[in-house]
Structure 1
Amino acid sequence: MKRFLIPAMMAVLSSQTVAATTLEDIQKRWAEVNYTLQDDAQEKAFEALLAQAKQWVQAEPNNAEAYIWQGIVQSTYAGAKGGLGALGLAKDARASLEKALALQPDALQGSAYASLGTLYSKVPGWPLGFGDDDKAKELLEKALEFNPNGIDPNYFYADYLYEQRNYRRAQQFAEKALAAPARPERPLADAERRKEVEALYAKIRKKVR
């Protein structure tokens, strides 16, 4: 029995190591593409990164983290692409994130809720798209239940509240985003997100004075 158990355990550990490495690789590359590239170079890089994310999903079809990052890449690629093609990518991102929630709602500290909520907030509403402010609010607040101190969910919710003209409440969540603990494994993403939070905070401050 032990002879069969040991190889099986090794296979599980090997799979976990591959998944962790893939996650780190995609997170790092996403930050580079999203924050350091522009225009055609960025679109081509997102296309290549999406292919990598899809390979991960195909290799691990029950891994919620894979679907989360496929959805994140699809949604940010949509933002870079713009136009009619962006809506198709946004719909694909919604499907990826909904699949992640069906598999494991708490994966990556509820990141699927945060990303999906942002999609519902940013995509145009009917008849052009599926945008829905009420749905966005529900999802973004759910994300904060899983990760109340994270920079991303607090920033996304602050941005949503700003767009809803709820400036004082937006200020509270922007301040929480600025106080969020650093993520040592994601230095570029943290640095650039903090710049986004600071820019949002400056806009909010002009409204509350």
Structure 2
Amino acid sequence: MKKLSVIFALLLSLPAFAGDDSEALKQVAELQQQWASIKYGVETDKQEAPLKALSEQADAAVARHHKSPELLIWRGIILSTYAGAKGGLGALTLVGQARESLEQALVLNPNALSGSAYTSLGALYYQVPGWPISFGSNSKARELLTKALTINPDGIDSNYFYADYLISENDYDGAREALNRALKAPGREGRELADRGRREEIKQLLQRIEGKHSS
């Protein structure tokens, strides 16, 4: 199966959660910070164990606050990243659980975290295998990623994952445009580590595109 590159730092500052349960918000912030520390601070081949532990923490948080779309989104993000670190057939169960969590978030509030569930779910659809192995679908990915951009047209993550998808479709000009938009996205308060890591990934994709054009 395609190795998941997930994912996702669909990270907003705490004021975006106004009106939600304060304990759920605290859990979201903790999951965000720990995810970024693992994703961008731990060597790739050593991420599986801490991501497994973090996924269990996310499961417990959702069990306590099952009506929180933000926690459901972050559970999906963490499970997706864990699947990428685990790899192989064992990752298929994890990506299925991630999809379910993100779909539940969409039912509760499709606009939560500026449409991050659409971005995360869209990324899953173009990165996992299609039927009969899994649920991957490039057309579904485009639909979801486009919805995410409708909600958050200038977001760093919505543009990054749309660009990554376009590269998989060999649309390098469209990908370059989306990546340049992503680079212009404003920094997110409290998300400095995630922003730095994502910007490095953006630059790497831009280099890949230039390599395609020069080859």
Residues matched between the structures, number:
197
Q: Determine which structure has the larger helix proportion and give its number.
A: 1
Deviation at 1:208, TM superposition (A): 4.2
Separation in structure 2 between the aligned mates of residue 193 and residue 22 of structure 1, nearest angstrom: 22
Pick one of 83, 88, 92 that aligns with 1:83.
88
- In structure 2, the residue matched to 1:181 is 186
CA distance in 1, matches of 2:44, 2:204: 22
Match of residue 121 from structure 1: 126
Which of residues 7, 32, 50 is equivalent to 2:37?
32
Which residues of 2 match residues 1-209 of structure 1 at below 5 A? 16-38=21-43, 41-208=46-213
Partner Cα distance (1:14, 1:168) in 2 = 41
Query: Which is further off, 17-26 or 138-147?
Result: 17-26
Structure 1 position 17, deviation (Å): 2.0
CA distance in 1, matches of 2:199, 2:44: 23
Change (3 A) 1:101 1:14: closer
* Cα distance between partner residues in 2 of 1:130 and 1:88: 11
Give yes or no for contact 2:45–2:85 (8 Å, CA) kept in 1.
Answer: no
- Secondary structure of the equivalent of 1:83? coil
Deviations 1:149-171 (Å, cap 9, x if unpaired)? 11001000001001100111111
CA distance in 1, matches of 2:157, 2:90: 26
The whole-number CA distance in structure 2 between the counterparts of 1:207 and 1:97 is 33
Segments of structure 1 that go 5 or more residues without pairing to the other structure are 1-12
Q: TM-score, normalised by structure 2?
A: 0.87
Q: CA deviation at 1:206?
A: 3.0
CA distance 1:137–1:20, shift in 2 (3 Å): same
Structure 2 spans left out of the alignment, 5+ residues: 1-17
Q: Give the number of the structure with larger relative contact order, counting CA–CA contacts within 8 Å between residues 6 or more apart.
A: 2
CA contact (8 A) 2:126 2:141 kept: yes
Q: Distance in 2 between matches of 1:39 and 1:195?
A: 15
Q: What is the percent sequence identity of the aligned residues?
A: 49
TM-score (norm 1): 0.90
* CA RMSD in angstroms, aligned pairs only: 1.6
Following TM superposition, by how much is the alpha carbon of 1:198 offset from its aligned partner in structure 2, in angstroms? 0.4
Task: Give the superposition deviation at 1:56.
Answer: 1.1
